[in-house]
Amino acid sequence: MQRLYDFIRRHPSWVDACWAVLLVVVTLLTFAGQHGQRSIPLSVLVLLGLGCVVALRRRSPERVLLLAIVLGVAQLALGVQVFVGDFALLVAVYTAASQGARWSSRLALVGAFLAAPLAELRWPTRTAGTSEAIFFTGILMVPFVLAWVMGDSLRTRRAYFAHLEERAARLEREREAQAKVAVAAERARIARELHDVVAHNVSVMVVQADGAAYVLDGSPDQARTALETISATGRQALAEMRRLLGVLRTGEPREAGEYVPQPDVDQMNELIEQVRGAGLPVDFRIEGAVRQLPRGVELTAYRIVQEALTNTRKHGGPDAGASVRLVYFDDGLGLLIEDDGRGAPTALTTDRGADGAGHGLIGMRERVGMVGGTLDAGPRPGGGFRISALLPLKTT
């Protein structure tokens, strides 16, 4: 039985052809008692046309409906009755309503209402009065109207399911797009973190290594101090890299203590001391009422100061100094980082970072934008470089 169902689903046209043959054969059997009537040849021709209506209904519902209308009008004009064969007219109405174009569905509905009255006018019920004729006409009209209603209901159901499928596909595409955006945002965040870690810590290590090489012969103690700073900075860089790799790792979760927490404002003093130890004088001040900050704001503030001081150390010149101010406003945290060096080169002021690869000020602006803040960066009128940012605070 399952094979039969599978065959029917795979070959619907063959099924229609079988129904057409069955309809023609059954109708021809009803002609057996009508020998000698002139209308039989015409009836057979009309019957064959109705068989084509059933057999070809799926290929072109609109043309099949027009053929059915022509055959119905021919029966009325020639006075030909095919009895059982007229079942094909119901099939044409149903097919047009369920599969045809909208205009063919409306035409089928009109035909469904007109078929029975026209048949009653052509072959009136002689023994019935007007009320009986109207009653019989209504009875004959019911199958045609029901065929149209069933076909239109199937069309509506198919359209509904198609809408659900299209909606599901659209939602899936939106989810994929959102996933791609999330991946891109995460990659950008990790790129910013890597840039900040590498640019800052490696620049400190380079400065200390150059200093150690310079004083190695004349002042071994200073060289030893520089090497210790290099070692501490390298360990810090490794710890930060380990934290970033922990974010990327997709295996089994590690212990909470294995990953280093992200830096925040509380670690700003350590950052300033590290920069001072690398040879850059920094004046650090905090103004306003210190309060708890959202984690995103703390990380953003730390990274902005870190990147700004890294840029100063690289581009400010050997005698440059810097000042860092954190100002707590009622509704935001202000940052002002200035240096008195020769200023950043043109490439840096056009959103190229300390590494010359375009990640410095771009990364700052991205970080500030993520917390809804504003950032302004550019050369100072009297020389040097200035970066100011305002990060909005949220109650925590």
**What string of pLDDT tens digits covers the 396 residues of the chain?**
677 677 777 778 888 888 889 999 988 888 776 655 557 788 889 889 999 999 999 888 999 999 999 999 999 888 888 888 889 999 999 999 999 899 999 999 999 899 888 888 888 776 656 777 788 888 888 999 999 999 999 999 999 999 999 999 999 988 888 888 877 776 777 777 676 666 667 777 777 787 778 777 778 887 888 787 788 777 777 777 776 666 565 444 444 344 445 677 888 888 898 888 878 899 999 998 888 788 788 888 988 998 888 888 877 777 788 999 999 988 889 999 999 876 555 444 444 444 444 457 877 888 888 888 999 998 888 888 999 999 987 644
Q: Is the whole-model pTM more than 0.75?
A: no
What is the structure's pLDDT at 108? 92
| Residue 230 half-sphere exposure toward CB, CA atoms < 13 A | 15
What is the structure's pLDDT at 245? 66
- Helical residues (DSSP H) of the chain, grouped into ranges: 2-10, 12-30, 39-55, 61-78, 87-99, 102-122, 130-215, 220-248, 268-277, 295-315, 346-349, 360-370
Burial annotation 357-375 (CB, 10 A radius, 16+ → b, else e) = eebbbbbbbbbbebbebeb
Distance from the Cα of residue 85 to its chain's centroid: 53
**Strand ranges of the sheet holding 322-328, from the earlier edge strand across to the other edge:** 282-287, 322-328, 332-339, 385-392, 374-379
What is the structure's pLDDT at 351? 46
Please give the domain boundaries of the chain with CATH numbers for all domains: 2-123 (no CATH), 281-396 (3.30.565.10)
Determine the Cα–Cα distance for residues 206 and 221; give it in Å rounded to an integer: 18
Residue with token string 């409306």 = 106
Distance from the Cα of residue 395 to its chain's centroid: 33
Structure tokens at 270: 């350590």
